[in-house]
C-alpha cells in the first residue's frame, strides 16, 4: 500500500468547567456548539465548529480532575481518505504498540481509536455522506467489505430521527453560522 497522508482534523480536550471553556471558545474563536450529549461512558461532550463542512473541529469532554500531571488532551484526530486507509492505520497502529483499540461507526464517520505509546488517544477516521446527532457510536467491523459497511451504516443512520444527508446538514449549519 502507498503512503498515507493523514490530516489533523479536530481536537478534544478534557475540561473541569465546560460552560466556562464553551464561552471562551465561542467568544474568542467564534466556534459554535453543534451538538452536546452524554457518551455511554457518562462523559459529557460538547461538539464545536466554525466550519459548516465540519461537524466538529473541537470537543470539550467532562472529567478533567483537579490534579497535576493529568493530560487534558482527550484525543488527537486525523482524517484519512478511504476505508482501506482506515484499515491500514488500524493495522499499523497495532503493529507499532498501540493499545486500547476501539473501532466505531459514528454514523457521520467511521473511526478507530487507540492509545499511542505514551497513552495519548489518537483517532483515525473518514466521513460518511450522512449526518446523525452526536454522540453516536456503533461497533464497526473493518473485516467487512466496503459495500457491507456502507450498507449497514446507511441503514442505521436512516433509522435515527435526526438523520439527514450531509449536504443538507452543511447548508443548515452554514445558515446558522451566518445568522
Q: What are the C-alpha distances in Å from 107 to residues 26, 69, 137, 138, 144?
A: 26, 35, 7, 8, 16
pLDDT digits (tens, 9 = 90+) for 110-139: 999 988 877 778 899 999 999 999 999 999
Which fold is adopted by the domain 7-178?
2,3-Dihydroxybiphenyl 1,2-Dioxygenase; domain 1 (3.10.180)
Q: Is residue 12 over pLDDT 80?
A: yes
Average pLDDT of the segment spanning 41-52: 94
Query: What's the predicted TM-score (pTM) here?
Result: 0.79
Annotated domain spans of the chain: 7-178
SS3 68: coil
CA–CA dist 23, 168 (Å, integer): 27
Amino acid at each position: 500500500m502507498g503512503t498515507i497522508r493523514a490530516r489533523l482534523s479536530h481536537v478534544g480536550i478534557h475540561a473541569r468547567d465546560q460552560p466556562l471553556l464553551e464561552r471562551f471558545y465561542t467568544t474568542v474563536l467564534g466556534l459554535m456548539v453543534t451538538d452536546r450529549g452524554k457518551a455511554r461512558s457518562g462523559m459529557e461532550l460538547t461538539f464545536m465548529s466554525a466550519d459548516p463542512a465540519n461537524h466538529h473541529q473541537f470537543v470539550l469532554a467532562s472529567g478533567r480532575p483537579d490534579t497535576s500531571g493529568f493530560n487534558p488532551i482527550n484525543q488527537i484526530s486525523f482524517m484519512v481518505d478511504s476505508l482501506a486507509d482506515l484499515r491500514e492505520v488500524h493495522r499499523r497502529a497495532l503493529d507499532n504498540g498501540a493499545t486500547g483499540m476501539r473501532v466505531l461507526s459514528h454514523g457521520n464517520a467511521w473511526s478507530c481509536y487507540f492509545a499511542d505509546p505514551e497513552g495519548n488517544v489518537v483517532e483515525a477516521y473518514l466521513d460518511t455522506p450522512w449526518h446523525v446527532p452526536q454522540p453516536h457510536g456503533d461497533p464497526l467491523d473493518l473485516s467487512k467489505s466496503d459495500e457491507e459497511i456502507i450498507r449497514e451504516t446507511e441503514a442505521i443512520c436512516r433509522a435515527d430521527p435526526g438523520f439527514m444527508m450531509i449536504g443538507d446538514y452543511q447548508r443548515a449549519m452554514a445558515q446558522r453560522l451566518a445568522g
